[in-house]
Structure 1
């Protein structure tokens, strides 16, 4: 790929077509350049600190609360405040920034749409640029889409509130370089969404709202606070104009929630239980600890002790500080089969009733067909109140590090291992083909669930765990199952779909990241090299 466009600081690896010219204007590039130059060195230092923290854990030091920040935890303070249009967030829908998806999600019977540049988007260059155009058009109310049959999709008069999820700190944007290295994808997504939409959002009584993923420490939250404050000052906006909800989806971050809220207190409105990534992070963070190995993915549910403690601690911490405590994702997809659909609704209801009873202020769904069911549950729990900030969970004792680190019971089964292989391979194949949000076996899968699938097997191999039938999980056993499950996938999908896909590449990547001596931190990093 040859370098095509150079700004004063940044080099762009693609020629600018019509779409790029709409988004990568001179003024937008200038703003992006300022952010990259000012904040990339510190971001790189934060990523290096992550590695050191992980080395300490690998060497036997379990994560714990930080005693030196007791002064923050032991005094009373509140976040700056929550805008009017974010006061009621009882149902949020998430999905990638594709045009039809954006319209359908904003029109759904939900309060918020989280438009995702992260786990549910495979960030090919054209997807990232068109995603920015789609969100700009949605903010302006001009977005429309016509399908091949001529059906026209347009926004309803009162769409959901829009929140943009940017990429995590670890993800690069390889198509733009600074000093011959890819720039942070997070800054690319933030800069362009903020630059093109801040004025229109404020004019209609909303604002530039963001979801922040994959945070691992309060120092990373403080970095975002500096980015937000710089952007506000750059455009002469009052402090606190930018609002963020941060996902607690890594194990290290659960021990620093008070500190995260404190360092983002001008901008933060809540924390979210990013449950699937949290399970993935539990496996990845404790990968060297043989007594912390999790069972089959299907056994690791929110009623398990370490996940229930995580949910309750998040609620108690957030509400003490006046911040929202958002619940996690219902990944189920409604079924046309009545019996299967009732099973789905029963599962979703039980999950969401637990969240509402615990005191969460709202929750996530992946499909608009679940909106009415989930909204009814939170309507019943909240009544006329817009949220549950008054639920302080005073009945809870102090939640200990031991509770948050305790593994859950359950079997490791051959069926579970084979299911992990099929899910991960199919998801990776879709992702490297440009689709980051994929229905597989009745669930809307994104990168997090594929991560759980492949890291579980890696950990079972690493610690030579046995399956329920007594068989030791080895690299050879995994490779045998991988080849067998590829044939199952071929039979399920049919030869034409299988042959037209990239399943051999996906299986090769799955094999490599599941058997390498050192656990690959994120499958999206090697996967990104296979994207255009």
Structure 2
């Protein structure tokens, strides 16, 4: 344990002493301490307001709508966000879910032709201490042009740094006797070590902001940005951030979110699965918000999602901000490229200025799609004046039921995600797609909701119960062992632990707000991580050899 006045920091994980000493200098710790001390009370207030809003929704059964108290912001047609730097004007294709602790993939991304890299400490990353230190260090090395055979930072795709969301804490650092907010830990270290060089190279600092639920939270990020710029001697407004609209409540406050961040805005982003899961999060106990089988009935052509994307594009372009779409999670066989092009063409036609892919082989085909079906570096000229979106449009659930295939698929994704976290990985591959916390959220949310509302399967009329889910989960074990390439008794035991944890979370009386919060605070996960990291360095216990 290292101490610096009010700061306590766990020692370096074995094998990462050099990285630890590079990042956690005395000056860096002092900066982190002051950043966290300055904003801890505001973070607490924001999280308490989230709880209050949820309680109000539950007690009153009210529905969200466009806010009366901020109508003046929406009605004022004169304001715009500040222009973005030149390197952000074209955002056609970013690489998504790029966990920076995966050094090989990170370097491959730096060498790619993508416009940007989503350096993901959130959805696609498992935030072990080792992963956070390695990931932040890899960013440091890239920005300081110390990665052999990688392009200099001014020639590489721009780094869109995505710190953890506000529901996550960093267990390995304490300030004033409290574990620190995960996003401040990530943001503070990334800014302290890299901001000046990124700015000098016209390459940042640029960020993605995850799981923002209200304009109040956007205002807090604005306060953090202004404070950090002043503290580090940076020009005011040089930090630029894209806000991911991943919560249904935030979809009613998009103009206000842009207004609060107008000096720092790089636009808004829409994605399908976290956003869909937020309906269960906020309204899942209500029968009229039953979300049907996502594998069959939920896509961006459905009214509630299409309205959300149209409104996001209209809002952004009205205010001079970029609007970006979600991630293509497919890992191609090439014969599926045409299907993906059709889906992404819908987003381009709606007016998005870019989107993300996971498979780097998709970068150039998707860039060509943009060149052929849009004009110029972006689509800011597409104002979408034809769009009229009502609260009802944003809240209407698609028709459809539940299939046995969809139930089995959701169970598999939920279990495999927990198994991945127990292994220190933030994403995994299943049936030709990359899966991460976003797809895990919608998967476990739907299983919880279908049990709660005792829905019947379309296939045979059987009611979805905890016993049915438990039986299907156990019947999937052999398939899941093959999916994780099970090689040892330890692998099988970890999968069985994940199965037990999945069944626990989908049977809880009260819906756990985020699966990542549940995992990050759960003793099973934390103890498993300690054992896993020890085995990675020293090998498994001799009794298991």
Output the TM-score relative to the length of structure 1. Answer: 0.94
For residues 492 and 215 of structure 1, the distance between their equivalents in structure 2, rounded to whole angstroms, comes to 33
Change (3 A) 1:80 1:36: same
User: Contact conserved, 1:58 with 1:288, CA < 8 A, in 2?
Assistant: no
In the TM superposition, what is the alpha-carbon distance from 1:419 to its structure 2 partner?
1.1
In the TM superposition, what is the alpha-carbon distance from 1:492 to its structure 2 partner?
5.0
For residues 194 and 367 of structure 1, the distance between their equivalents in structure 2, rounded to whole angstroms, comes to 28
Query: Counterpart in 2 of 1:96?
Result: 99
Query: Counterpart in 2 of 1:338?
Result: none
Of residues 435, 438, 444, the one that matches 2:428 is 438
User: Contact conserved, 1:490 with 1:498, CA < 8 A, in 2?
Assistant: no
In the TM superposition, what is the alpha-carbon distance from 1:495 to its structure 2 partner?
5.0
For residues 332 and 254 of structure 1, the distance between their equivalents in structure 2, rounded to whole angstroms, comes to 26
In the TM superposition, what is the alpha-carbon distance from 1:376 to its structure 2 partner?
0.9
For residues 390 and 255 of structure 1, the distance between their equivalents in structure 2, rounded to whole angstroms, comes to 23
In the TM superposition, what is the alpha-carbon distance from 1:206 to its structure 2 partner?
2.2
Equivalence map 1:273-292=2 (5 Å):
273-292=270-289
Equivalence map 1:160-175=2 (5 Å):
160-175=157-172
Structure 2 gaps of 5+ residues are 531-545
Of residues 319, 322, 342, the one that matches 1:321 is 319
User: Contact conserved, 1:425 with 1:503, CA < 8 A, in 2?
Assistant: yes
Change (3 A) 1:389 1:494: closer
User: Contact conserved, 1:116 with 1:164, CA < 8 A, in 2?
Assistant: yes
In the TM superposition, what is the alpha-carbon distance from 1:526 to its structure 2 partner?
2.6
User: Contact conserved, 2:272 with 2:299, CA < 8 A, in 1?
Assistant: no
User: Contact conserved, 2:6 with 2:177, CA < 8 A, in 1?
Assistant: no
**Deviation digits for residues 231-269 of structure 1, max 9, x if unmatched?**
111122221011111100111100000100011111012
> Which stretch shifts more, 128-137 or 283-292?
283-292
For residues 423 and 73 of structure 2, the distance between their equivalents in structure 1, rounded to whole angstroms, comes to 46
**Deviation digits for residues 149-200 of structure 1, max 9, x if unmatched?**
xxxx634783211110011011100111123321000000000001101111
In the TM superposition, what is the alpha-carbon distance from 1:487 to its structure 2 partner?
3.1
Query: Counterpart in 1 of 2:389?
Result: 399
RMSD: 1.5
The answer to whether structure 1 residue 238 and structure 2 residue 241 are counterparts is no
Change (3 A) 1:276 1:13: same
In the TM superposition, what is the alpha-carbon distance from 1:498 to its structure 2 partner?
6.9
For residues 505 and 410 of structure 1, the distance between their equivalents in structure 2, rounded to whole angstroms, comes to 33
Query: Counterpart in 2 of 1:300?
Result: 298
Change (3 A) 1:355 1:491: closer
For residues 455 and 494 of structure 1, the distance between their equivalents in structure 2, rounded to whole angstroms, comes to 26
Structure 1 gaps of 5+ residues are 145-152, 336-340
Query: Counterpart in 2 of 1:312?
Result: 310
Change (3 A) 1:322 1:493: closer
Of residues 129, 133, 150, the one that matches 1:129 is 133
User: Contact conserved, 2:8 with 2:175, CA < 8 A, in 1?
Assistant: yes
Change (3 A) 1:439 1:494: closer
Query: Counterpart in 1 of 2:224?
Result: 227
Query: Counterpart in 2 of 1:342?
Result: 335
User: Contact conserved, 1:91 with 1:371, CA < 8 A, in 2?
Assistant: yes
Q: Give the 3-state SS of the residue equivalent to 2:487 in structure 1.
A: helix
Query: Counterpart in 2 of 1:359?
Result: 351
The answer to whether structure 1 residue 19 and structure 2 residue 9 are counterparts is no
